[in-house]
A and B are shown apart, each in its own frame.
Chain A
Amino acid sequence: MQITTFPHPAEEAIELKLTGRFDAHESEIFRIALTDALGNGNHHIRVNLANVEFVDSTALAELVRGMKRCREARGDLTLVSPSDPVRVILELTKLDAAFSIV
């Protein structure tokens, strides 16, 4: 999985754009990227999932953990444009009710 980090132009947020499979093997690099983004003092994180072809339960747990970290810091973690396979999993697990999704 590749992660590209950049400031979101329209909002005061950092966007992490993920590409590839997001599973247990990739959760560590996501955690590091998120920690780096939060370390800069910005607690509004956008995770772009448009190019993610698969997420497993470990990856979902990593997103939930990230969401809680952001909300504890009075920010939020927003899921952006989840791909069809990711959207299906979010709906099946009802996690779409827990995340902000745009």
Chain B
Amino acid sequence: MTSTDSPLESLTGALIEANDQLLALYELAKVSTSSLDVHASVGEILSRAKRLLDAESMLLFAEDGLILGEESDVASAGDRSIDDVRGGTTRTLTASTTASVQASNSSGLQATLIARRADRPFGTADHKLLSAVANMALGALHTSRLHQEAVDQAVVSRDHDTASELAVGALPKWRPDVPGFDLFARSDPARSAGGDLFTFAYVEEVLHFVVGDVSGKGLPAAMMMTNVISAAMAAFQTVGTSGPAAVVSAIDSWVYEYLSDAGLFVTLVGGSFDPASGVLRLANAGHSPVLFVRDGSADLVDASVPPIGVLPFEMLGEDALTESVYETTPGDRLIVSSDGFTEQENPSGEMLGDDEFARLICEDPGPTDDLGSRLFTMLERHADTAEQSDDRTLLILGVSATPKATDS
């Protein structure tokens, strides 16, 4: 009888064991891993698994040295390595009461689960369940790390956005409301911030302004841009009355090394306009295009020195940076844009180009603001579905009234 009962008992035992495993897996699956804290989520899985397997302790060792489990188990592991723990238990317990299970996933993440019992060994079925536990815990670890990466990226992204807002905030929002001229100024960065810049100040009834383009793109260029704006605002106040060449030279002396060390340069045109006399003065350090428009014809205002940051101005000679001076009359315009305007491509890869840009400017005698807005609209139409390749900046100074008489 015993010989015939034995296979049946074995089969029954195996079925019960299999059923127990299914129940255990079901119990484990109910463990809530809603927490994204790795200690909480993995700790909860291992805590439940300990009770199901009647284990004395259960720890998950991640590759980077992180040890996870119930708080008391982690505390008892202390600073010991996985080999210390494995070896330590072997010294005090029989090998079969300690189980070590490896787990890995498709992302290459690996961990080792070590469980131990005080009184009885782990069987084959226990090892299968431990393997399932190890994989569940590894999954929770992976999810938590992905979440942390997403949080880290969000923090970096938020910091980047904040820095970009600060950089863009350096561009003046106000426009001078002074008889004698109209000013249109707008800058659209290709990314959240860029290296294009303009700024102006109205000092002692003279308008001072600069327009520039820091080489490179994005936040690094934007950070340099804010420095150039600060330098320009200081230069307007300190040497503005000496003219734009003095302003551009002062900016060069303050930011040259900063730019040079960073391997960057800034093309910069400085200008001053006196509404009383109608005199417009310009000093150009490598910026293009700068156009003076009169009676439907555009003259290119040449650069006299390379951009700031290429060579120290003193190396170029004392008088290298020269000024272009214009005695303006009503209807005259100064147009300064950045290369992101003229180099914008359409979907066929054709750039807007200097000639087309000059043609658009010359054929439009309307108000300054209207011309500025229309040029941006036309540029967007030209780009169509093509990506904005660079920052777009446009400053238009329109002479709107006869200069006031200074003598009676």
Q: Which residue numbers of A lie inside 8 Å of B, CB to CB?
A: 24, 56-58, 60-61, 64-65, 68, 89, 92-95, 97-98
Contact = CB atoms under 8 A, between A and B. Distances in A.
Contacts of A68: 260, 263
Given A56-B390, A57-B213, A92-B288, A98 B310 contact: yes
A95 B215 CA distance: 13
A57 B263 contact: no
B49 interface: no
A88 to B, nearest CB: 9
Nearest to A59: B215
A66 to B, nearest CB: 10
Nearest to A67: B310
Contacts of A92: 288-289, 302-303
A58 B215 contact: yes
A36 to B, nearest CB: 18
A60 B303 CA distance: 16
Contacts of A97: 305-306, 316
B43 interface: no
B98 interface: no
A60 B215 contact: yes
A70 B390 CA distance: 29
A68 B267 CA distance: 18
B307 interface: yes
A3 B306 CA distance: 26
Interface in B118-149: none
A61 B264 contact: yes
Given A56-B343, A57-B216, 8 more contacts: A60-B215, A61-B263, A64-B265, A64-B309, A68-B260, A93-B286, A94-B285, A98-B306
B263 A56 contact: no
Given A93-B267, A97-B316, A61 B215 contact: yes
Given A57-B213, A61-B216, A68-B260, A94 B286 contact: yes
Interface string B306-329: 110111000010000000000000
Interface string B386-401: 0000100000000000
* 3 shortest interchain CB distances as A-B pairs: A61-B215, A92-B288, A94-B303
A94 B305 contact: yes
9 contacts: A57-B216, A57-B267, A58-B217, A61-B216, A68-B263, A93-B267, A94-B285, A94-B286, A94-B306
Interface residues of B, number: 27
Interface of B: 213, 215-217, 260, 263-265, 267, 285-289, 302-307, 309-311, 316, 339, 343, 390
A57 B339 contact: yes
B304 A65 contact: no
Interface centre among A24, A68, A89, A97 (most CB of B within 10 A): A97
Give the interface SS of chain B, mostly helix, strand, loop or mixed: loop
Given A56-B343, A57-B267, A93 B217 contact: no
B217 A24 contact: yes
Contacts of A65: 263
B304 A94 contact: yes
B214 to A, nearest CB: 8
A52 to B, nearest CB: 15
B216 A58 contact: yes
Nearest to A89: B288
Contacts of B263: 61, 64-65, 68
Nearest to A27: B216
A58 B227 CA distance: 19
Contacts of A94: 285-286, 302-307
Given A57-B339, A65-B263, A95 B307 contact: yes
B298 to A, nearest CB: 14
A57 B214 CA distance: 8
A93 B307 CA distance: 7
Nearest to B286: A93
Contacts of A24: 216-217
A93 B215 contact: no
Given A57-B267, A57-B339, A61-B264, A95 B217 contact: no
B124 to A, nearest CB: 56
B129 to A, nearest CB: 52
